[in-house]
């Protein structure tokens, strides 16, 4: 989700410059560093493009309003993901749970999967219960640890682990044997 040439020290300096005088260049740099990953994260949580752009915009609005109170106990990336996650939850509460099958096919294909298998995997991920999907996306796609997920979702570490196990088990059951759609296995 992060630009590899961007780091936490840059984030703090850019945030400070933004807060001092609402410096547009500082905001733009932060926006460009995090928006592509945040948008993909929103699309995965919401099952496609529907509402993802609105959620992204609301995430940045909330983040900039609250930036002054951000305590830097986590990375800016983690904090932005938490805000986006809450925005996604609000959207999901207010809409039907159906994914747009055309939108699901717009995700980048994981390495080693063809477009058909990748589309099937994304549809299966979207069909997971919200909690399982959130933990799976945060852990297996975004790379968060169970401890970080515990903090982000306000759940116990054990709950994160069990939801991930349940998500993987459900995906294995949904995906046809021999389809080539493998789920990464991490403790």
Read off the pLDDT of residues 121-171 as tens digits, 9 standing for 90 and up.
Answer: 888 888 899 899 999 999 998 899 999 999 888 899 999 999 999 999 999
Could you give the CA distance from residue 132 to residue 163 in angstroms, rounded to a whole number? 5
What are the structural domains, with CATH classification, of the chain?
Answer: 1-100 (1.10.1740.10), 108-187 (1.10.10.10)
Higher pLDDT, residue 24 or 120: 24
Could you give the CA distance from residue 180 to residue 162 in angstroms, rounded to a whole number? 24
Distances (CA, A) of 138 to 134, 143, 168: 6, 6, 13
For the chain, give the percent of residues with pLDDT over 90: 53
Higher pLDDT, residue 123 or 7: 123
Answer whether 63's CB lies under 8 Å from 83's CB: yes
If you ran DSSP here, which 8-state letter would residue 69 be given? G
| Average pLDDT of the residues of the chain | 83
101: pLDDT confidence band, cut at 50, 70 and 90?
A: very low
If you ran DSSP here, which 8-state letter would residue 128 be given? S
Structure confidence by residue, pLDDT tens digits, 47-75: 877 799 999 999 999 999 999 999 998 89
Work out the average pLDDT over 9-24. Answer: 90
Work out the average pLDDT over 86-105. Answer: 69
pLDDT of res. 109: 57
E strand spans, the chain: none
pLDDT of res. 92: 85
Q: Is 25 helix (H, G, I), strand (E, B) or coil?
A: helix
pTM for this entry? 0.72
Burial status of residue 55 (CB atoms within 10 A of its CB: 0-12, 13-18, 19 or more): buried
Among all chains, which residue has been given the structure tokens 């759940």? 155
pLDDT of res. 127: 86
């Amino acid at each position: 989700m992060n630009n590899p040439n961007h780091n936490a020290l840059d984030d703090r300096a850019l945030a400070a410059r933004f807060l001092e005088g609402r410096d547009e260049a500082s905001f733009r740099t932060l926006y460009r560093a995090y928006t592509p990953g945040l948008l993909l994260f929103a699309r995965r949580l919401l099952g496609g493009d529907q509402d993802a752009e609105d959620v992204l915009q609301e995430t940045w609005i909330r983040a900039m309003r609250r930036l002054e109170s951000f305590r830097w106990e986590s990375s800016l990336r983690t904090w932005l993901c938490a805000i986006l996650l809450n925005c996604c939850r609000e959207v999901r509460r207010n809409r039907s749970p159906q994914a747009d099958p055309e939108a699901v096919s717009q995700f980048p294909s994981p390495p080693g999967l063809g477009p058909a298998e990748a589309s099937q995997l994304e549809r299966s991920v979207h069909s997971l219960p919200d909690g399982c999907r959130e933990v799976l996306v945060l852990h297996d796609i975004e790379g968060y640890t169970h401890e970080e997920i515990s903090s982000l979702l306000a759940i116990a570490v054990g709950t994160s682990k069990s939801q991930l196990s349940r998500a993987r088990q459900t995906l294995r059951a949904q995906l046809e044997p021999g389809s080539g759609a493998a789920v990464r296995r991490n403790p």
